[in-house]
Amino acid sequence: MEDLKPVDPPHPAQDVTEHVGYRLKRAAAALRGAMDRALRAHGLTVPQYACLELLDQRPGLSNAELARGTFVTRQSMNVVLRGLQDEGLISRPATTDHGRALPTHLTAEGRGRLYAARSAVYAIERDMIDAIPQRRLAALLADLDRMAAALGG
Amino acid sequence: MEDLKPVDPPHPAQDVTEHVGYRLKRAAAALRGAMDRALRAHGLTVPQYACLELLDQRPGLSNAELARGTFVTRQSMNVVLRGLQDEGLISRPATTDHGRALPTHLTAEGRGRLYAARSAVYAIERDMIDAIPQRRLAALLADLDRMAAALGG
DNA sequence: GTCCCTATGTCAAAATCCTGACATGGAAGA
DNA sequence: TCTTCCATGTCAGGATTTTGACATAGGGAC
Protein backbone atom coordinates (compact mmCIF):
# COMPACT_ATOMS: atom_id res chain seq x y z
CA MET A 1 0.00 0.00 0.00
CA GLU A 2 2.75 2.39 0.86
CA ASP A 3 4.63 1.98 -2.40
CA LEU A 4 1.69 3.21 -4.45
CA LYS A 5 2.31 6.85 -5.27
CA PRO A 6 -0.23 8.87 -7.24
CA VAL A 7 2.50 11.03 -8.71
CA ASP A 8 6.13 10.29 -9.33
CA PRO A 9 8.64 12.28 -7.31
CA PRO A 10 10.78 14.71 -9.30
CA HIS A 11 13.81 12.58 -8.70
CA PRO A 12 14.30 9.10 -7.30
CA ALA A 13 13.69 9.33 -3.55
CA GLN A 14 11.89 7.08 -1.12
CA ASP A 15 11.53 9.72 1.54
CA VAL A 16 10.42 13.33 1.69
CA THR A 17 13.53 14.11 3.63
CA GLU A 18 15.53 13.30 0.49
CA HIS A 19 13.91 16.05 -1.57
CA VAL A 20 15.67 19.24 -2.54
CA GLY A 21 13.08 21.41 -0.88
CA TYR A 22 13.46 19.58 2.40
CA ARG A 23 17.23 19.87 2.37
CA LEU A 24 17.01 23.53 1.52
CA LYS A 25 14.57 24.14 4.34
CA ARG A 26 16.74 22.25 6.80
CA ALA A 27 19.85 24.23 5.90
CA ALA A 28 17.95 27.51 6.10
CA ALA A 29 16.45 26.54 9.45
CA ALA A 30 19.87 25.64 10.81
CA LEU A 31 21.24 28.98 9.64
CA ARG A 32 18.35 30.86 11.17
CA GLY A 33 18.78 29.08 14.48
CA ALA A 34 22.51 29.68 14.60
CA MET A 35 22.04 33.35 13.80
CA ASP A 36 19.33 33.68 16.41
CA ARG A 37 21.59 32.29 19.09
CA ALA A 38 24.57 34.40 18.01
CA LEU A 39 22.65 37.66 17.68
CA ARG A 40 20.85 37.33 20.99
CA ALA A 41 24.09 38.22 22.76
CA HIS A 42 24.11 41.47 20.80
CA GLY A 43 20.48 42.32 21.43
CA LEU A 44 19.47 41.94 17.80
CA THR A 45 17.02 39.73 15.95
CA VAL A 46 17.77 38.23 12.55
CA PRO A 47 15.54 40.66 10.62
CA GLN A 48 17.06 43.57 12.53
CA TYR A 49 20.58 42.44 11.71
CA ALA A 50 19.71 41.90 8.05
CA CYS A 51 18.25 45.38 7.95
CA LEU A 52 21.34 46.98 9.49
CA GLU A 53 23.67 45.06 7.19
CA LEU A 54 21.75 46.18 4.15
CA LEU A 55 21.70 49.79 5.31
CA ASP A 56 25.44 49.74 5.95
CA GLN A 57 26.22 48.86 2.37
CA ARG A 58 23.34 50.65 0.68
CA PRO A 59 22.56 53.74 2.77
CA GLY A 60 19.32 55.54 2.10
CA LEU A 61 17.19 52.55 1.26
CA SER A 62 13.46 52.93 1.78
CA ASN A 63 11.19 50.72 3.82
CA ALA A 64 9.88 48.89 0.76
CA GLU A 65 13.37 48.35 -0.63
CA LEU A 66 14.57 46.95 2.68
CA ALA A 67 11.57 44.65 2.77
CA ARG A 68 12.38 43.24 -0.64
CA GLY A 69 16.03 42.88 0.30
CA THR A 70 15.24 40.86 3.39
CA PHE A 71 12.35 38.84 1.91
CA VAL A 72 9.63 40.09 4.20
CA THR A 73 6.56 42.27 3.62
CA ARG A 74 6.59 46.04 3.84
CA GLN A 75 4.48 45.83 6.96
CA SER A 76 6.93 43.56 8.72
CA MET A 77 9.86 45.73 7.80
CA ASN A 78 7.94 48.72 9.07
CA VAL A 79 7.77 47.33 12.60
CA VAL A 80 11.42 46.28 12.40
CA LEU A 81 12.38 49.83 11.46
CA ARG A 82 10.35 51.24 14.32
CA GLY A 83 12.13 48.99 16.76
CA LEU A 84 15.51 50.01 15.41
CA GLN A 85 14.51 53.65 15.46
CA ASP A 86 13.31 53.40 19.07
CA GLU A 87 16.72 52.01 19.97
CA GLY A 88 18.43 54.84 18.13
CA LEU A 89 20.19 52.56 15.66
CA ILE A 90 18.72 54.12 12.53
CA SER A 91 17.35 57.50 11.50
CA ARG A 92 14.53 58.21 9.13
CA PRO A 93 13.15 61.59 8.07
CA ALA A 94 9.48 62.22 8.79
CA THR A 95 8.87 63.76 5.39
CA THR A 96 10.50 64.03 2.01
CA ASP A 97 10.40 66.58 -0.76
CA HIS A 98 10.06 64.09 -3.56
CA GLY A 99 7.93 60.97 -3.58
CA ARG A 100 6.82 58.95 -0.60
CA ALA A 101 9.88 56.77 0.00
CA LEU A 102 11.68 57.74 3.20
CA PRO A 103 15.45 57.15 2.99
CA THR A 104 16.84 55.35 6.04
CA HIS A 105 20.36 55.72 7.45
CA LEU A 106 22.41 54.10 10.18
CA THR A 107 23.32 56.14 13.23
CA ALA A 108 26.78 55.93 14.76
CA GLU A 109 25.37 53.68 17.46
CA GLY A 110 23.69 51.52 14.86
CA ARG A 111 26.93 51.11 12.98
CA GLY A 112 28.69 50.14 16.19
CA ARG A 113 26.09 47.51 17.07
CA LEU A 114 26.25 46.13 13.54
CA TYR A 115 30.01 45.81 13.54
CA ALA A 116 29.97 44.11 16.92
CA ALA A 117 27.37 41.60 15.77
CA ARG A 118 28.93 41.09 12.37
CA SER A 119 31.89 39.11 13.66
CA ALA A 120 29.54 36.57 15.26
CA VAL A 121 27.56 36.19 12.05
CA TYR A 122 30.65 35.94 9.91
CA ALA A 123 31.91 33.14 12.14
CA ILE A 124 28.74 31.23 11.28
CA GLU A 125 29.29 31.81 7.58
CA ARG A 126 32.83 30.59 8.02
CA ASP A 127 31.55 27.38 9.59
CA MET A 128 29.17 26.85 6.68
CA ILE A 129 31.84 27.42 4.07
CA ASP A 130 34.37 25.23 5.83
CA ALA A 131 31.86 22.41 5.87
CA ILE A 132 31.87 22.00 2.10
CA PRO A 133 34.63 21.36 -0.46
CA GLN A 134 36.05 24.77 -1.26
CA ARG A 135 36.05 24.12 -4.99
CA ARG A 136 32.28 23.74 -4.99
CA LEU A 137 31.42 27.03 -3.30
CA ALA A 138 31.01 29.07 -6.47
CA ALA A 139 28.84 26.43 -8.08
CA LEU A 140 26.74 26.19 -4.94
CA LEU A 141 26.09 29.92 -4.90
CA ALA A 142 25.21 29.88 -8.59
CA ASP A 143 22.85 26.94 -8.14
CA LEU A 144 21.06 28.61 -5.25
CA ASP A 145 20.56 31.68 -7.40
CA ARG A 146 19.29 29.65 -10.32
CA MET A 147 16.78 27.84 -8.13
CA ALA A 148 15.57 31.10 -6.61
CA ALA A 149 15.21 32.64 -10.06
CA ALA A 150 13.32 29.62 -11.36
CA LEU A 151 10.84 30.03 -8.52
CA GLY A 152 10.38 33.73 -9.09
CA GLY A 153 12.58 34.83 -6.19
CA MET B 1 34.90 55.92 6.78
CA GLU B 2 32.71 53.48 4.98
CA ASP B 3 35.54 51.32 3.66
CA LEU B 4 36.79 50.52 7.13
CA LYS B 5 35.56 47.07 8.04
CA PRO B 6 36.16 45.80 11.57
CA VAL B 7 36.15 42.18 10.47
CA ASP B 8 36.97 40.52 7.19
CA PRO B 9 34.17 38.73 5.40
CA PRO B 10 34.45 34.93 5.29
CA HIS B 11 35.10 35.05 1.57
CA PRO B 12 35.81 37.87 -0.83
CA ALA B 13 32.57 39.77 -1.31
CA GLN B 14 31.78 43.44 -1.56
CA ASP B 15 28.11 43.05 -0.81
CA VAL B 16 26.04 41.22 1.78
CA THR B 17 23.92 39.89 -1.04
CA GLU B 18 26.95 37.88 -2.19
CA HIS B 19 27.21 35.91 1.04
CA VAL B 20 26.24 32.26 1.33
CA GLY B 21 23.71 32.95 4.04
CA TYR B 22 21.96 35.55 1.94
CA ARG B 23 21.77 33.26 -1.08
CA LEU B 24 20.48 30.44 1.06
CA LYS B 25 17.84 32.67 2.57
CA ARG B 26 16.77 33.94 -0.83
CA ALA B 27 16.39 30.43 -2.25
CA ALA B 28 14.46 29.29 0.81
CA ALA B 29 12.21 32.36 0.66
CA ALA B 30 11.51 31.74 -3.01
CA LEU B 31 10.63 28.13 -2.28
CA ARG B 32 8.39 29.13 0.58
CA GLY B 33 6.57 31.67 -1.55
CA ALA B 34 6.08 29.28 -4.44
CA MET B 35 4.74 26.61 -2.11
CA ASP B 36 2.44 29.10 -0.41
CA ARG B 37 0.91 30.08 -3.73
CA ALA B 38 0.61 26.49 -4.94
CA LEU B 39 -0.87 25.12 -1.72
CA ARG B 40 -3.41 27.89 -1.30
CA ALA B 41 -5.44 26.35 -4.11
CA HIS B 42 -5.59 23.15 -2.08
CA GLY B 43 -6.50 24.83 1.18
CA LEU B 44 -3.24 23.92 2.90
CA THR B 45 -0.43 25.92 4.47
CA VAL B 46 3.20 24.95 4.12
CA PRO B 47 3.51 23.56 7.67
CA GLN B 48 0.29 21.61 7.18
CA TYR B 49 1.55 20.11 3.93
CA ALA B 50 4.90 19.23 5.46
CA CYS B 51 3.10 17.54 8.32
CA LEU B 52 0.87 15.48 6.01
CA GLU B 53 3.81 14.48 3.83
CA LEU B 54 5.77 13.30 6.83
CA LEU B 55 2.81 11.36 8.19
CA ASP B 56 2.24 9.67 4.84
CA GLN B 57 5.69 8.17 4.81
CA ARG B 58 6.15 7.68 8.54
CA PRO B 59 2.72 6.93 10.00
CA GLY B 60 2.35 7.12 13.75
CA LEU B 61 4.75 9.97 14.39
CA SER B 62 4.15 11.96 17.57
CA ASN B 63 3.70 15.69 17.89
CA ALA B 64 7.28 16.22 19.04
CA GLU B 65 8.68 14.07 16.24
CA LEU B 66 6.67 15.96 13.65
CA ALA B 67 7.91 19.24 15.11
CA ARG B 68 11.53 18.17 14.75
CA GLY B 69 10.88 16.90 11.24
CA THR B 70 9.43 20.19 10.10
CA PHE B 71 11.81 22.47 12.02
CA VAL B 72 9.25 24.13 14.25
CA THR B 73 8.61 23.96 17.99
CA ARG B 74 6.32 21.43 19.63
CA GLN B 75 3.89 24.21 20.43
CA SER B 76 3.64 25.32 16.82
CA MET B 77 3.16 21.77 15.60
CA ASN B 78 0.48 21.34 18.21
CA VAL B 79 -1.69 24.07 16.69
CA VAL B 80 -1.01 22.71 13.20
CA LEU B 81 -2.19 19.29 14.30
CA ARG B 82 -5.33 20.75 15.84
CA GLY B 83 -6.15 22.49 12.61
CA LEU B 84 -5.63 19.32 10.61
CA GLN B 85 -7.67 17.36 13.12
CA ASP B 86 -10.52 19.88 12.98
CA GLU B 87 -10.57 19.43 9.21
CA GLY B 88 -10.61 15.67 9.60
CA LEU B 89 -7.34 15.14 7.77
CA ILE B 90 -5.57 13.36 10.61
CA SER B 91 -6.54 11.25 13.60
CA ARG B 92 -4.91 11.15 16.98
CA PRO B 93 -5.90 9.05 19.97
CA ALA B 94 -6.80 10.92 23.14
CA THR B 95 -4.84 8.56 25.32
CA THR B 96 -2.21 5.88 24.99
CA ASP B 97 -1.33 2.82 27.02
CA HIS B 98 2.40 3.41 26.98
CA GLY B 99 4.18 6.74 27.37
CA ARG B 100 2.84 10.18 26.58
CA ALA B 101 3.54 10.36 22.84
CA LEU B 102 0.31 10.23 20.84
CA PRO B 103 0.77 8.50 17.47
CA THR B 104 -0.80 10.45 14.60
CA HIS B 105 -2.23 8.96 11.42
CA LEU B 106 -3.65 10.27 8.17
CA THR B 107 -7.34 9.80 7.49
CA ALA B 108 -8.56 8.81 4.05
CA GLU B 109 -9.55 12.41 3.44
CA GLY B 110 -6.15 13.59 4.60
CA ARG B 111 -4.41 11.24 2.22
CA GLY B 112 -6.61 12.49 -0.61
CA ARG B 113 -5.81 16.12 0.11
CA LEU B 114 -2.13 15.33 0.35
CA TYR B 115 -2.03 13.49 -2.96
CA ALA B 116 -3.90 16.31 -4.67
CA ALA B 117 -1.50 18.91 -3.32
CA ARG B 118 1.57 16.80 -3.88
CA SER B 119 1.53 17.17 -7.65
CA ALA B 120 1.63 20.96 -7.32
CA VAL B 121 4.55 20.81 -4.90
CA TYR B 122 6.42 18.28 -6.98
CA ALA B 123 6.08 20.58 -9.99
CA ILE B 124 7.90 23.23 -7.98
CA GLU B 125 10.66 20.80 -7.10
CA ARG B 126 10.90 19.92 -10.75
CA ASP B 127 11.38 23.58 -11.63
CA MET B 128 14.13 23.88 -9.05
CA ILE B 129 15.95 20.81 -10.26
CA ASP B 130 15.64 21.76 -13.90
CA ALA B 131 17.21 25.12 -13.13
CA ILE B 132 20.57 23.62 -12.23
CA PRO B 133 22.99 21.33 -14.09
CA GLN B 134 21.78 17.82 -13.47
CA ARG B 135 25.25 16.51 -12.68
CA ARG B 136 25.54 18.86 -9.71
CA LEU B 137 22.33 17.85 -7.96
CA ALA B 138 23.87 15.18 -5.75
CA ALA B 139 26.70 17.48 -4.70
CA LEU B 140 24.23 20.26 -3.97
CA LEU B 141 22.18 18.03 -1.69
CA ALA B 142 25.31 16.84 0.08
CA ASP B 143 26.58 20.38 0.56
CA LEU B 144 23.27 21.54 2.00
CA ASP B 145 23.42 18.68 4.46
CA ARG B 146 26.99 19.44 5.43
CA MET B 147 26.19 23.07 6.05
CA ALA B 148 23.16 22.18 8.14
CA ALA B 149 25.20 19.70 10.15
CA ALA B 150 27.98 22.24 10.70
CA LEU B 151 25.42 24.64 12.15
CA GLY B 152 23.91 22.04 14.42
CA GLY B 153 20.82 21.42 12.30
C1' DG C 1 -4.75 68.49 -18.62
C1' DT C 2 -6.78 63.96 -17.36
C1' DC C 3 -7.05 59.21 -16.54
C1' DC C 4 -4.75 55.04 -15.32
C1' DC C 5 -1.32 52.36 -13.42
C1' DT C 6 2.25 51.46 -10.20
C1' DA C 7 4.74 52.08 -5.94
C1' DT C 8 5.00 53.55 -1.26
C1' DG C 9 3.75 54.13 3.65
C1' DT C 10 0.55 52.98 7.01
C1' DC C 11 -3.44 51.16 9.72
C1' DA C 12 -6.21 47.31 11.51
C1' DA C 13 -7.04 42.53 12.23
C1' DA C 14 -5.88 37.94 12.19
C1' DA C 15 -2.83 34.15 11.89
C1' DT C 16 1.40 32.21 13.04
C1' DC C 17 5.18 31.24 15.83
C1' DC C 18 8.08 31.37 19.83
C1' DT C 19 9.52 31.77 24.92
C1' DG C 20 8.57 30.34 29.43
C1' DA C 21 6.41 27.27 32.32
C1' DC C 22 4.18 23.21 34.28
C1' DA C 23 2.68 18.32 35.03
C1' DT C 24 3.16 13.63 33.54
C1' DG C 25 5.36 9.23 31.91
C1' DG C 26 9.39 6.44 31.33
C1' DA C 27 14.25 5.12 31.72
C1' DA C 28 18.66 4.91 34.05
C1' DG C 29 21.42 4.71 38.05
C1' DA C 30 22.38 4.81 43.11
C1' DT D 1 13.00 0.93 45.74
C1' DC D 2 13.85 5.50 45.15
C1' DT D 3 15.77 9.30 42.98
C1' DT D 4 17.18 11.83 39.17
C1' DC D 5 16.92 13.03 34.57
C1' DC D 6 14.93 13.47 30.05
C1' DA D 7 11.13 13.60 26.75
C1' DT D 8 6.43 14.63 25.84
C1' DG D 9 2.00 17.20 25.72
C1' DT D 10 -0.07 21.31 26.96
C1' DC D 11 -1.25 26.06 28.73
C1' DA D 12 -0.53 31.07 28.87
C1' DG D 13 1.48 35.18 27.15
C1' DG D 14 3.76 37.86 24.01
C1' DA D 15 6.34 38.76 19.86
C1' DT D 16 6.49 38.43 15.01
C1' DT D 17 4.53 38.12 10.53
C1' DT D 18 1.09 38.12 7.28
C1' DT D 19 -3.35 39.43 4.81
C1' DG D 20 -6.38 43.01 3.48
C1' DA D 21 -7.25 47.59 2.90
C1' DC D 22 -6.71 52.57 2.20
C1' DA D 23 -4.72 57.14 0.91
C1' DT D 24 -1.00 59.42 -1.35
C1' DA D 25 2.74 60.48 -4.83
C1' DG D 26 4.70 60.00 -9.36
C1' DG D 27 4.99 58.57 -14.34
C1' DG D 28 3.04 57.62 -18.71
C1' DA D 29 -0.71 57.22 -22.30
C1' DC D 30 -4.25 59.59 -24.33
Do A52 and A44 contact (CB within 8 A), yes or no?
A: yes
Domain residue ranges of chain B, discontinuous segments joined by +: 17-150
Q: What is the pLDDT of residues B38-51, one digit of tens each?
A: 999 999 999 999 99
Distance from CA of A34 to the nearest CA of B (A): 6
Among A12-16, A43-47, B2-6, the minimum mean pLDDT is found in B2-6
Q: Confidence class of residue B17 from pLDDT cuts 50, 70 and 90? A: low
Q: Is any Cβ of chain B less than 8 angstroms from the Cβ of A112?
A: no
Domain B17-150 belongs to what architecture? Answer: Orthogonal Bundle (1.10)
- Banded model confidence at residue A136, pLDDT cuts 50, 70, 90: very high
According to DSSP, the residues that pair with A106 across neighbouring strands are A90
Residue A23 has pLDDT above 60, yes or no: yes
Are A86 and A43 a contacting pair, CB within 8 Å? no
Query: pLDDT value at position A5?
Result: 34
What's the pLDDT score for residue A72? 97
pLDDT score at B13: 57
CB contact (8 A) between residue A20 and residue B150: no
What is the model's pLDDT at position A18?
77
Question: Topology of A20-150 in CATH?
Answer: Arc Repressor Mutant, subunit A (1.10.10)
Q: Cβ–Cβ of B20/A149 closer than 8 Å? A: no
What's the pLDDT score for residue A153? 76
CA of B98 to C1' of D2 (A): 22
β-bridge mates for residue B105, sequence order = B91
pLDDT of amino acid A97: 84
Judge whether residue A56 has pLDDT over 50: yes
Lowest mean pLDDT segment, chosen from A1-15, B9-23, B104-118: A1-15
Q: What is the mean pLDDT of chain B?
A: 90
Please name which of A25, A4, A151 lies closest in space to residue B123, comparing C-alpha atoms. Answer: A151
Instruction: Name which of A28, A54, A129 is nearest B28 (Cβ-Cβ).
Output: A28
Give tens-digit pLDDT for A96-129: 888 899 999 999 999 999 999 999 999 999 999 9
Chain A positions in Cβ-Cβ contact with residue B146 (cut-off 8 Å): 131-132
Helices (runs of H) and strands (runs of E) counted in chain B? 6, 2
Coil, strand or helix at A29 = helix
Average pLDDT over residues A36-60: 96
Whether residues A23 and B141 touch (CB distance < 8 A) is answered with yes
Q: pLDDT-derived band of residue B145, with 50, 70 and 90 as boundaries?
A: very high
Q: Which residue has the higher pLDDT, A18 or A119?
A: A119
Listed as ranges, the nucleotides of chain D within 7 A of a protein C-beta are 7-13, 16-21, 24-26
Is residue A36 less than 8 Å (CB to CB) from chain B?
A: no
The CA distance from B119 to the nearest CA of chain A, in Å, is 6
A79 touches strand D (CB under 7 A): yes
Closest residue in B to A55 (Cα) is B16
Instruction: State whether residue B118 sits within 8 Å of chain A by CB.
Output: yes
Which region among A13-17, B90-94, B100-104 has the lowest average model confidence (pLDDT)? Answer: A13-17
Q: Which residue is nearest to nucleotide D24 (CA to C1')?
A: A100
Mean pLDDT of B1-24: 61
A150 three-class SS = helix
pLDDT value of residue A8: 44
